[in-house]
Amino acid sequence: MHDHIKHGRMKRTTDTSTVCLRQNDSMKRGLMNPGYSLLILLVSAFVVLIAACTGTSGKEQATGRQTDLPLCDIKGCRGAVFSSDGRLYVYDAKNGSVREIDEASGAKRFLCLSPDKTAAAYLHSFSIENNHTTATKIGVYEIDSGKTADLVLDENLDQLLGAYWTSDNTIMAVSHLNPSTDMCQAFDAREGRSLFVRAVGTLYDISPDGKRIIYYFTPHFSEAPLIPHLKISGVRTEEPDSDFSFDAPVYEAGHPDDRIVQACFAGESRILFVEYSSAAYPGYKLKLADIKGDSTEVVSELPFDFAGLDMDNIIAMEYSEDRSGLYIISLDADNPDAEEAVINLREFLVKDSEVISVNTVPTGLDVSYGHDITINAGHSNDIIITDVTGSGSMTERSVYKYDGKKFSRLPSDQEVSTEALRMLEEYAGKSVGAPAALKIDKIEIY
């Protein structure tokens, strides 16, 4: 069949006018001969049927080729971003293309995808400062458009501990400054600009849009103890037009022996915090304050003292305005005789006149590791907890949920089966012309 088609194309290149005349002549004879016309119709129908079958077969073959592509068996997977030997690549599972992200020389360290899976962040432009190798830039790659942006780290962030997405559009970088202080720099990742740089003693919470933080700061060489206080970036800032500036306190405790245990945002213009007062009983109070202009105003305070809850070891706290729910993850001792502490999640109901303990569940998180935990109360019924362990680019991120009864780990979209990873390594190696399969060291699918 295919040989006949090729031959027919060759005939048409000889003498088009002769072919047309012969076709016209044949048509005239066919009109005068009913039997001939019927034969022509039968042949035409057969040709159409064969063409349809051939087309269907071609589609099946194309679909077959697509089903052989790596990661095609993962439901909803459009592709993946992965790193190999200091290079960064994006794989499109729809058309099977593999290309390198940012072909400039120098090593790249893949951080992670944005929460909405539309952009990838990575470290690059490494330098050695005080015998410490650190990145000086964070690259951002938008998957659909292919657009890249560089976030330039402030010179004070020369001992980078890590960088992570705080919202779909913002990234926070954290660097060690001295034994009691870290440096935090926030970026608008899509616009490629710095939002602020702050010296932070204790970072309590990041706003839902990722653009503000609640923190506590004490100068490393302070001559006298400072009264515990809270600061919020962008509120009561001494140099509002400067990226690197100092925020004035928005709240101060009454005495140097008092403590501010933990704090979190409670909506767009409110904060919630736990304070210990050395002059009151019970000593712990849960306070709600409105952010008003360049300061805060405490609008309510409730006793907050619960058996087994180690106030000095609260890791993270989040408030859900929709549910009036307060969620705390802390390192606790289940009872005074316990040899080792455990990490618990505690749920409270905050009413006008009291705080009610609703539930306490063990998380199973390893107490021997340091945990950087964020809690997202959102609008769904489940509470989502993200836990990052490690530092720099050597971090592991796990996601859990609390459904009101139990604490459980969610399957990670970073987890690709060994066989699927092997297939992608071989496929990617051939696609980029590598002499052998690429060895993937970190991958996230989108």
Q: Do 114 and 95 share a structural domain?
A: yes
Tokens representing 318 are 């989040």
Residue-wise pLDDT tens for the chain (446 aa)? 433 333 333 333 333 333 333 334 444 444 345 555 555 555 455 544 444 444 443 333 333 345 579 998 888 899 999 999 999 999 999 999 999 999 888 999 999 999 999 999 999 999 887 777 889 999 999 999 999 999 999 999 988 988 999 999 999 999 999 888 999 999 999 999 999 999 999 999 999 899 999 999 987 776 777 899 999 998 998 887 788 889 999 999 989 899 999 999 998 899 999 999 988 777 899 999 999 988 899 999 999 989 889 998 999 999 998 899 999 999 997 555 556 789 999 999 999 889 999 999 999 999 988 888 989 887 678 999 999 887 665 677 889 999 999 999 987 655 788 999 999 999 999 999 999 999 999 999 99
Q: Do 114 and 51 share a structural domain?
A: no
Q: How confident is the model at residue 235, as a pLDDT?
A: 92
Separation in Å, CA 284 to CA 289, 297, 310, 367: 16, 19, 11, 25
Tokens representing 51 are 């063409």
Q: How confident is the model at residue 267, as a pLDDT?
A: 87
Q: How confident is the model at residue 41, as a pLDDT?
A: 52
Q: Are strands 119-129 and 132-142 parallel, antiparallel or unpaired?
A: antiparallel
C-alpha span between 436 and 17 (Å, rounded): 56
Separation in Å, CA 55 to CA 50, 51, 60, 62, 337: 9, 6, 9, 11, 76
Residues linked to residue 236 through DSSP beta bridges, in sequence order: none
Enclosing domain of residue 434: 75-166+186-197+423-446
Element of type H or E holding 234? none
Q: How many domains does the chain have?
A: 3
Tokens representing 117 are 């899976």
Q: Do 23 and 120 share a structural domain?
A: no
Q: What is the DSSP string of 353-396?
A: S-EEEEEEEE----TTS--EEEEE--SSSSEEEEEEEEETTEEE
Among the three residues 67, 86, 115, which one is the final residue of a domain in this structure? 67
Q: Do 158 and 24 share a structural domain?
A: no
Q: How confident is the model at residue 16, as a pLDDT?
A: 37
Q: Do 175 and 131 share a structural domain?
A: no
List, as own/partner pairs, every contact residues 119-124 make where C-beta atoms lie below 8 angstroms and the sequence separation is at least 24, other chains included: 119/143, 119/189, 119/190, 120/81, 120/88, 120/90, 120/444, 121/163, 121/165, 121/171, 121/189, 122/83, 122/88, 123/160, 123/163, 123/393
Q: Do 398 and 304 share a structural domain?
A: yes
Q: Do 36 and 146 share a structural domain?
A: no
Q: How confident is the model at residue 64, as a pLDDT?
A: 35
Those residues whose C-beta lies under 8 Å from the C-beta of residue 417, and which sit 6 or more positions away, are none
Q: Do 316 and 293 share a structural domain?
A: yes
Q: Give the three-class secondary structure for 41.
A: helix
Q: Do 173 and 312 share a structural domain?
A: yes
Tokens representing 161 are 């501990």
Q: Do 235 and 260 share a structural domain?
A: yes
Residue with tokens 């213009």: 269
Read off the pTM: 0.79
C-alpha span between 131 and 145 (Å, rounded): 38
Separation in Å, CA 431 to CA 143, 168, 227, 322: 19, 31, 61, 50
> Do residues 392 and 373 touch, judged by C-beta distance below 8 A?
no
Q: Do 107 and 32 share a structural domain?
A: no
Q: How confident is the model at residue 67, as a pLDDT?
A: 53
Among the three residues 14, 36, 67, which one is the final residue of a domain in this structure? 67
> Do residues 302 and 275 touch, judged by C-beta distance below 8 A?
no
Q: What is the CATH number of the domain that holds 285?
A: 2.120.10
C-alpha span between 125 and 20 (Å, rounded): 69
Among the three residues 67, 87, 122, which one is the final residue of a domain in this structure? 67
Q: How confident is the model at residue 413, as a pLDDT?
A: 56
Q: Do 111 and 8 share a structural domain?
A: no
> Do residues 200 and 182 touch, judged by C-beta distance below 8 A?
yes
